[in-house]
Amino acid sequence: MWAVAAIWAQNEWSSKKVFLQFPGQIIAESWEVSGTTTGILKDVHVDRFAEVKAGQILATLDDAQFLADLEVARKELNQLRAQVSSAEAELQASASEIAADWTSDLRRFQVDVQRFRVEVLDLDLQGKKISANLRQQKDLAVSCLARIKVLKEKEALAEKKWSRLDILSKSGQVSFATVDSARAEWLEVVARKMQVVQEEKVALGQIETLMSTLAALTESGKSNQEQLALAQERLNDFGRTQPGSPALASDPRIKTVMASIDVQTSRIESLAVQYQALQLRAKSPGTVQGILARPGQSILPGEPVLMLAKPSSSQLLGWAPERLHRNRIEALDFTASSAEITNIPISFLRIGPVFEELPQMLWKNPSIPEYGQPVLFELPPNTGLTPGEPVQLSTVL
């Protein structure tokens, strides 16, 4: 009897509960990928809906201007090397005319430092040029691989067509000329495929050579940096052993060389920044939601090229049909349900200050806008809900 009474009381209590339900949507966290410089979009290296990692190159701008600037810098560096050699020759001539003294030794140490600085800059420029060529060859190899895949499919279709027509020709249903034409089409596709295969082979060989050269340059660069440090140390030690010595850069010829090297160093550093700007990288992992530009298109600084999105979300936004005070919401237990997943417990985070229009996909009638008070909730991990997916929020008042 007591059990029957308890069930009756529970049913009575359930019948008096007030349920509040309102629509919501899983927040889609997306962001644009744009460049920082003006240029022509050379290639997009990802496909729509592809997953990308942080730091991955997504697209590249044309590097023709960068290579031209690199060549100008290389010629200026050659002039600078000649300037250092000229200063060194003048100092040696001066030293031969008079007895070797402290000043001539100082100048010799100074010239050694500047000569090594020029060598370091030269190797840096060579490395940048090789890196640019390496990227071009890698892009070519990737392009060849894609073209080979397409040509293999065309080859299979052309061969199938030729075989079918050859069979039909034996029964007199098609002419031998038609069969020969089909065979010629197949041979043309095969020839194009072999040509691209050869291009890929050459590109892969170039990649191997360039990578080996770049590794050797890196080692040479380390050696030059060490020699530069030693030369600078010798110069500093020499200055410290000469009490009351004049300024180390007092000679106007050396001062001119030092100023020129400083300018060239800044220029090369600027080229490094310019090269990085030609590569559009993913700042964080995500999924390619959209490709907003195509190769050959002119891109302005800040103009979006791709749209990335997180594959999952930890938050959802609901729109309550009536004003709910924060204290009241915090005391309520909310759940979210989608078409396939029901009663997911969610946690209240924040509430919006004003009512706003709901996304059109949540309107009951597509022609009648609906409004609600935005409420932000946190989802538990691994819910399986998709960003942008509509959900229904429920609570008991």
Our measurement of the distance from residue 146's CA atom to the centroid of its chain's CA atoms, rounded to an integer in Å, reads 21
pLDDT of residue 261 exceeding 80, the answer is no
pLDDT of residue 275 exceeding 50, the answer is yes
Report d(CA 13, CA 33) in Å as an integer.
55
Residue 57's contacts (CB-CB under 8 Å, 6 or more residues apart) are: 45, 279, 280, 281
User: pLDDT per residue over 108-121, tens digit each?
Assistant: 777 777 777 778 88
Architecture per CATH, 14-28+312-396: Beta Barrel (2.40)
Helices (H), 171-251: 176-240
Is domain 64-275 classified as CATH 1.10.287.620?
A: yes
User: pLDDT per residue over 20-36, tens digit each?
Assistant: 889 999 998 889 999 88
pLDDT of residue 346 exceeding 90, the answer is yes
* Distance from the first to the final alpha carbon of the chain: 31
Question: Which of the 8 DSSP states describes residue 41?
Answer: E
pLDDT of residue 103 exceeding 70, the answer is no
When pLDDT is averaged across residues 152-173 and rounded to a whole number, the result is 89
When pLDDT is averaged across residues 207-236 and rounded to a whole number, the result is 84
When pLDDT is averaged across residues 124-136 and rounded to a whole number, the result is 84
Report d(CA 32, CA 302) in Å as an integer.
9
Nearest to 116 by CA among 282, 287, 258: 258
pLDDT greater at residue 377 or residue 74: 377
Task: Parse the chain into domains and list their residue ranges.
Answer: 14-28+312-396, 32-60+282-309, 64-275
**How confident is the prediction for the chain on average, in pLDDT?**
82
When pLDDT is averaged across residues 164-191 and rounded to a whole number, the result is 88
What percent of the chain lies above the pLDDT cut of 90? Answer: 26
When pLDDT is averaged across residues 156-167 and rounded to a whole number, the result is 90
Q: pLDDT band at 345, cuts 50/70/90?
A: very high
User: pLDDT per residue over 178-205, tens digit each?
Assistant: 888 989 999 999 998 999 899 889 989 9
pLDDT at 98: 44
pLDDT at 249: 47
Report d(CA 381, CA 378) in Å as an integer.
9
* Dihedral of alpha carbons 89, 95, 100, 104, sign: negative
pLDDT of residue 240 exceeding 80, the answer is no
Is domain 32-60+282-309 classified as CATH 3.30.470.10?
A: no
Residue 166 token pair: 């050859």
Report d(CA 309, CA 52) in Å as an integer.
10
